[in-house]
Amino acid sequence: MRALMVERYGSEADVRVREAPAPQVSADDVLVRIHAAGVNPLDTKIRDGEFKLILPYKVPFILGNDLAGEVVEVGAAVTRFAVGDEVYARPDKDRIGTFAEFIAVHQDDLAPKPAALTMEEAACLPLVALTAWQALVERAHVQPGQKVLIHAGSGGLGTVAIQLAKHLGAHVATTAGTANVDLVKGLGADVVVDYKKQDFATVLHDYDVVVDSLGGETLAKSLRVLKRGGTVVSVAGPPDAAFARELGANPLLRLVMAALSFRTRRRARRLGVTYSFLFMKASGRQLRELTALVDAGAIRPVVDRVFPFDEAREALEYVEKGRAKAGKVVVTMT
């Protein structure tokens, strides 16, 4: 099969389309013919080796973390899916590889594709929708009436997180550029801070939850807009000891991660708030919940641009250089 392979870490020139062996299908696996794959900043970070410490993929490996496609084979123990089913998934972190013609996915990580969506639209959702769910529902336990700030509201994660937070009954603020103010309002944002004109930290106060996808100074300021007892969930900040435990890291790596996040956690404690690092997990169960929300009209994907598979490297560059105007970039395999 054709696949986009990382042949050496750290250089865009070492990512290329080539022939790869067909996936092996175990008893609990579902073989999916991929129709479309979402492109995420995570893909470029994995390509460049930024996560080698916690995700030590052995080169060469196939890149890609989102898929939508059709079931073509099921393992002997598979009970939830049949040949011909339309599905979507974020494969487990140890089994990535969606920039390819086929992938074998554990049935627990797979879900039926939302009926109303095209393959390209569905491929936008798994990674960012699961991230939004795990941040807002699992970590922050958002309740009706709470105030939630979603950073980068026009991005892949932001567009879904705004809609999910509104569905949960929250009062939602977001940050966005001037060109995307109307877009994020249309997704449900109650307050939009145009970051080109205002500093969110000077206009937002007493928030219960912040979802941070930017890190750095944005994360530091986010701690200050929370009320006491509030929580910032970050996918871009420094990993913490809780994540190291969840990962099953060795004692040395746990110490390293605790040290990386020490200043942020200390600053949070002094302000009476909580810092939590999130590296999302694959979950077919949660995706099924999200499928129901999509089919009910509570969440819709935002597609920025679709690239053909032969231009997958260009799609990665497009995402890496921040050219996407709003929503997700997709590679179509067919």
52 and 166 assigned to the same domain: no
| Residue 288, in any domain of the structure | no
- Rounded Cα distance between 211 and 253, Å, is 25
| Residue 119, in any domain of the structure | yes
| Residue 148, in any domain of the structure | yes
- Rounded Cα distance between 163 and 252, Å, is 39
The predicted pLDDT at position 13 comes to: 60
Q: Mind listing the pLDDT tens digit for each residue in 57-67?
A: 999 999 999 99
| Residue 177, in any domain of the structure | yes
210 and 141 assigned to the same domain: yes
157 and 32 assigned to the same domain: no
Which residue segment(s) compose the domain that 189 sits in? 127-277
Q: Which residues of the chain have pLDDT under 50?
A: none
111 and 132 assigned to the same domain: no
| Residue 210, in any domain of the structure | yes
The predicted pLDDT at position 257 comes to: 86
103 and 151 assigned to the same domain: no
243 and 267 assigned to the same domain: yes
Phi, psi of 209 (to 5 degrees): -145, 140
255 and 137 assigned to the same domain: yes
- Rounded Cα distance between 158 and 120, Å, is 18
261 and 185 assigned to the same domain: yes
The predicted pLDDT at position 12 comes to: 58
- Rounded Cα distance between 180 and 19, Å, is 40
| Residue 289, in any domain of the structure | no
262 and 173 assigned to the same domain: yes
CATH number at residue 252: 3.40.50.720
- Rounded Cα distance between 331 and 334, Å, is 9
112 and 148 assigned to the same domain: no
8 and 95 assigned to the same domain: yes
The predicted pLDDT at position 11 comes to: 60
Contact 87, 81 (CB under 8 A): yes
Provide the whole-model pTM. Answer: 0.96
CATH number at residue 326: 3.90.180.10
| Residue 309, in any domain of the structure | yes
DSSP string, 171-217: EEEEEE-GGGHHHHHHHT-SEEEETTT--HHHH--SEEEEEESS-HH
Domain count of the fold of the chain: 2
| Residue 284, in any domain of the structure | no
162 and 71 assigned to the same domain: no
Closest CA to 190 of 174, 210, 202: 174
